[in-house]
Structure 1
Amino acid sequence: MSKVVHEPATPHRWPRPPEGTWTQHYPELGTSMMSFEDSVSPEFFELEREAIFKRAWLNVGRVEQVPKTGSYFTKELDVARASIIVVRDRDGAVNAFHNVCRHRGNKLVWNEFPRAETSGTCRQFTCKYHGWRYGLDGGLNFVQQEAEFFDLDKAELGLSPVHCEVWAGFIFVNLDATPRQTLREFLGPMITDLDGYPFDKMTEWYEFSADNQSNWKLFADAFQEYYHVPGLHSQQVPSAVRTPGKGFECAHFQVDGPHRMVSTGGARRWTMPPEFMYPIERVTRSGLVGPWESPELGELPKGLNPGRIEPWGIDNFQIFPNIEILIYHGWYLLYRYWPTSYNSHRFEGMLCFQPARTVRERVEHEVASVVFKEFALQDAGMLTGTQTALESAYRTAGLTEFPVNDQEILVRHFHKAVADWVDVYRHDLAGTDAR
C-alpha cells in the first residue's frame, strides 16, 4: 500500500462568497442576537426528548461492531429513556430491538450492571429472570412452563423492533413508530455524497467518553466554529495559519436541511515552527491532525471538500442531531453528544485509522489519539463555565440573547434546526389534542 506524503503548502487567504458574508447566503437565519434559552431550560429539554431524540435517526454504532452472525451490542439512550439491542441475524441483516423481555418487562441483555452497555456473540437471547428465549430475528423461541399460560401466542410476543438502517457502515436507529423519512432521505445529498469514502477500511479505533456538566448543544457548538481557536488553542493553531488582522477563518461553510459542514484549509501543521508543536509530534511525525503521512485512499467521493478548497485540511460533517464526522487526510474522527439532562451530557469520541502495518504506524496513531485528548479537553474545559454562566444570566438577570458573528453561522443554524423540530412536535401535539 503506497503512502501519500502531505507536502508543505503556502498559506492562502480564502475569499468570502462574492455576495458578501456567509450569513447573507442563508437569510432565513437572520443576523440578530441569538437566544441560548434552549440550553438552560429544563422544560425545553423535555420537548427535545420527544421532538428530536424520539423522531430523528440516531447513529448508535458501526457494522464492524457486529461482524458475524450473533454479534450484538447494547446502547443506552438515556435521552429517549430507551435501551436497545443491535444484532446481526442469520441472514446477515443488522436489526435493532428494545432491550426488554416481553414476559414481565425485565431488561433482557446485560451483565453485572443493568445500566451498563455490553456486547458479545450469542445464538439466542435468554432472559435472566424467567428464562424466555428469543432468536436473533427477535422471535420468541421458548417459554418456560408454557402450558401454564392462558392463550399464549408466541408469534405475537417477539422482541419489540426498532427501525434500523445502515448508511456507509454507520448504524442508525429511529424510535418513532413510523419514521417520516428513510435514513437516506433524512441524511440528504450533502451527507450521502460521501458514498464511497472508505470508512470500512479504518477499523483501528481509539475510543473516549466523558460525562460533561453542560447542555449537549454547547459542546457541539464548539466544533461548528473556529472563531475560538486563537484564544483557546493558541499553541495548536499559531499565527502562521491565521489571516492577518482577522485571526483564524474557515474556508467553507454549508448547510443542507438540519445538517451542516465546515471545511478548513491553509498551512499544514508540519510546516510550522517547532515551538508550536509538542516534542513528541516532531519525533513521531504525528499529532493533532494525525500522521503526517497516510495510506493512499484512491479516488475520493464528490461530497468531500465540497467547496473545492486547495490546499484542503479538514471537513467536519455535522449530522443532526448529535453526530459529527471529521474527515482528515487518510483517517476520520467521530463525535457524538448524548444528553443526560438539560445541563449534562455524555461525549463520545473515536479516532479511526487504517490498521497499522508497522510499530511506527501504531505509535503514530497512539500519539494522534493522545494529542486529540488534550485538544478536546481544552474545549471541554469551557463547558461547565459556559453552562453555569448562562444559567446565572438567565435566572438572575433575564439574559438569554447574545451576539453571534459571521463565522458562527453554523451555531445559529444548529439551534434553529432544534427549534424547528420542537415547533413541529408542538404543532403535531396540538393537532392530536384538538382531535
Structure 2
Amino acid sequence: MDRLKQLGDVAEIMLDYVENKKTFQTDKPLRVPSSSYTDKDQFNAEIELVFKRTPLMLAFTAELPNPGDYKAMEAVGMPVLINRDKQGKVRAFLNVCSHRGAPVAEGKGNCTRFTCKYHSWTFGSDGKLIGISEANTFGDVDKSQMGLRELPCEERAGMIFVCLTPNAPMNLDTYFRGYLEDFEALDFANWTYLGNRTIEGANWKIAFDGYLEGYHFKSLHPETIFPRTPSNTMHYEGFGPNMRIGFPQHTIAEQLKDVPREKWGECENEGYDFVRIFFPNVSVFIAPEITQVAQLFPGPTPDKNRTVLNYLRREPVKDEADREAVEAAMNFFRDVTYQEDYVIGMEIQKGLESGAHDEIVFGRNERGNQYFHEWLNWYLEDDPSTPEPTM
C-alpha cells in the first residue's frame, strides 16, 4: 500500500477514536508473570536469544557522516566499535584487541586506523591488523588471522544496524517488513545529530512498556503530554515484531477539517503523532521541534537499564542561540522521560520484587504492550516453527 495513503487511513481511524472516545482494542487482556521483570535466568535468556540475535539500531548515519568517523560504545555488556572506512562503508567490530583484549578505540572521532593503548597494536579501518609494536621481539604471528572480530552491520534509512553475534544472519528486509521505507520517506539519512543524554532506570521491559501505550497520559503526564494528546487513545500497526503507534491530538478534527482527505497522510505532527518502535529496544518520537530516539539497554542486573536518549532534527544548528535552544529542548525531553516515566518505573520494580502479585495484566486497550511481550516470548521459545504473533 502507498505509504501516505496508509498514514491517511490511520489518521481517519484516529479521528474516529477522538470523536467517539474509542481506542484500538484486542479480544482479551494478557497476563504476564511478575517474575518476567525480576528473574535472572529470564534476563540472561533475553540477552542471549533476543539482544544478541536481532538487528539492533546502534547508530545514525548523521553520527558518522564522513570516511574515518567512528563511535565506540557498549551494548548489553558488549564493547562495540562502529566506523566508516575509507570507501564510505560502515562496519562494526567487537572493540577488543586480538593481542590481550584491550579496547582499540574510545568515544567518538575520526581516524584512519585504531591503535590499542595497551601495547600499540594497530588495526586498519577494515579491522585488519596492520602493525605490531616491536614486532622483531614479539615472534611470528599470522596478522591476517588476527584482525578485529567483525559483526554483521548494515546501514539503512539513516540508521546503522548491528547484530552482536559474529557471522550471524541479518536480513533487515525480513525483519522490518517494509517499515524502513517510513524512515527513507522522512529523509532520515540527511538529518542532523544533535547529541544525547543518558538516564538509568528499572528493568528494561518496565521502562519499555511505558513507550508502548498512552493509557497513562492523563494521570502521569497531566501538564506535559496530556494537553496535546488524549489519554487512552492509540492505534497500532505491526511490521514483524516492530510497531508504529498512532497518537491523535486533541485538536485532530480542527487541524484536518480544511485538509483534503487525500492529504491527511502528510499531516504528521499536525493533528496526530507517531511513536515508531524497533523491537526489542528502540522508541522514536518525531516531534515538530526535535526528535527523540530512545535506545534501552538491559542491565547490568535484571533490575536496571541504561537508556541513551538521542536527539536529531532535519535542520543543522544555525548559531549559538539555536544551540542553546537545542540543549534546552534535549534537557526538557530527558527530564520528562526520567522524572515522569523512569521514576515510577523504579517504584514498579520494587512493587514487583515484593511478591505482592504473581502477575501483571495488560488490558484490551494496551495492545502494544501485549504485542511486544508476545514477540519477546516468541524469541525466548527459540522455535522458528512456532507461529509468529500478529497484530
TM over 0.5: yes
Higher deviation after alignment, 405-414 or 63-72: 63-72
* Count, aligned residues: 359
User: Which residue matches 1:422?
Assistant: 380
User: Which residue matches 1:225?
Assistant: 213
Letter in 2 for 1:402: I
Instruction: Say which of 295, 298, 308 aligns to 1:336.
Output: 295
Max Rg structure: 1
Q: CA deviation at 1:237?
A: 4.4
User: Which residue matches 2:49?
Assistant: 51
Letter in 1 for 2:90: V
Give the TM-score, by structure 2 length: 0.82
Higher deviation after alignment, 165-174 or 259-268: 259-268
Letter in 2 for 1:94: V
> In the aligned structure 2, how far is the partner of 1:195 from the partner of 1:374?
30
Instruction: Say which of 365, 371, 394 aligns to 2:332.
Output: 371
In the alignment, structure 1 residue 316 sits paired with structure 2 residue 275: yes
User: Which residue matches 2:191?
Assistant: 202
Deviations 1:349-408 (A, max 9, x none): 123222244677556544433432332121112011000101112xxx5x2322322221
> In the aligned structure 2, how far is the partner of 1:180 from the partner of 1:21?
38
Distance 1:400 1:54, change over 3 A: same
Correspondence 1:258-297 to 2 at 5 A: 258-267=241-250
> In the aligned structure 2, how far is the partner of 1:217 from the partner of 1:177?
26
User: Which residue matches 1:413?
Assistant: 371
> In the aligned structure 2, how far is the partner of 1:91 from the partner of 1:310?
38
1:412 counterpart SS class: helix
> In the aligned structure 2, how far is the partner of 1:205 from the partner of 1:133?
31
Higher deviation after alignment, 337-346 or 251-260: 251-260
Q: CA deviation at 1:44?
A: 0.4
Q: CA deviation at 1:200?
A: 3.4
> In the aligned structure 1, how far is the partner of 2:154 from the partner of 2:342?
31
Distance 1:148 1:257, change over 3 A: same
Correspondence 1:3-402 to 2 at 5 A: 14-15=16-17, 22-24=24-26, 30-77=28-75, 79=76, 81-110=77-106, 118-148=107-137, 151-212=140-201, 214-238=202-226, 242=230, 248-267=231-250, 312-329=271-288, 331-340=290-299, 341-353=301-313, 354-357=315-318, 364-376=325-337, 377-393=339-355, 397=356, 399-402=357-360
Distance 1:151 1:350, change over 3 A: closer
User: Which residue matches 1:115?
Assistant: none
Q: CA deviation at 1:426?
A: 11
Distance 1:167 1:96, change over 3 A: same
| CA contact 2:62–2:192 (8 Å) conserved in 1 | yes
Q: CA deviation at 1:148?
A: 4.4
> In the aligned structure 2, how far is the partner of 1:47 from the partner of 1:82?
15
| CA contact 2:156–2:180 (8 Å) conserved in 1 | no
Distance 1:67 1:180, change over 3 A: closer
| CA contact 2:32–2:359 (8 Å) conserved in 1 | yes
Distance 1:32 1:92, change over 3 A: closer
Distance 1:207 1:104, change over 3 A: closer
Specify every segment of 5 or more residues in structure 2 that has no aligned partner in the other structure, as ranges.
1-13, 255-262, 387-391
1:15 counterpart SS class: helix
Q: CA deviation at 1:181?
A: 3.4
Q: CA deviation at 1:142?
A: 1.4
Specify every segment of 5 or more residues in structure 1 that has no aligned partner in the other structure, as ranges.
1-11, 111-117, 243-247, 272-301, 429-435
Deviations 1:36-93 (A, max 9, x none): 321111110011110011111111111222232222110112x2x3201111111111
| CA contact 1:36–1:400 (8 Å) conserved in 2 | yes
Deviations 1:266-325 (A, max 9, x none): 2359x9xxxxxxxxxxxxxxxxxxxxxxxxxxxxxx9x969x889532111110111111
Distance 1:152 1:253, change over 3 A: same
| CA contact 1:305–1:315 (8 Å) conserved in 2 | no
Q: CA deviation at 1:410?
A: 0.7
Q: CA deviation at 1:147?
A: 4.2
2:175 counterpart SS class: helix
> In the aligned structure 2, how far is the partner of 1:47 from the partner of 1:407?
29
Distance 1:365 1:265, change over 3 A: farther
> In the aligned structure 1, how far is the partner of 2:269 from the partner of 2:192?
28
> In the aligned structure 2, how far is the partner of 1:106 from the partner of 1:359?
39
Distance 1:176 1:229, change over 3 A: same
> In the aligned structure 2, how far is the partner of 1:120 from the partner of 1:84?
14
CA RMSD of aligned residues (A): 3.1
User: Which residue matches 2:362?
Assistant: 404
Distance 1:361 1:122, change over 3 A: closer
| CA contact 1:21–1:406 (8 Å) conserved in 2 | no
Percent sequence identity over aligned pairs: 25
> In the aligned structure 1, how far is the partner of 2:326 from the partner of 2:35?
40
Distance 1:240 1:125, change over 3 A: closer
| CA contact 2:290–2:329 (8 Å) conserved in 1 | no
Distance 1:211 1:305, change over 3 A: farther
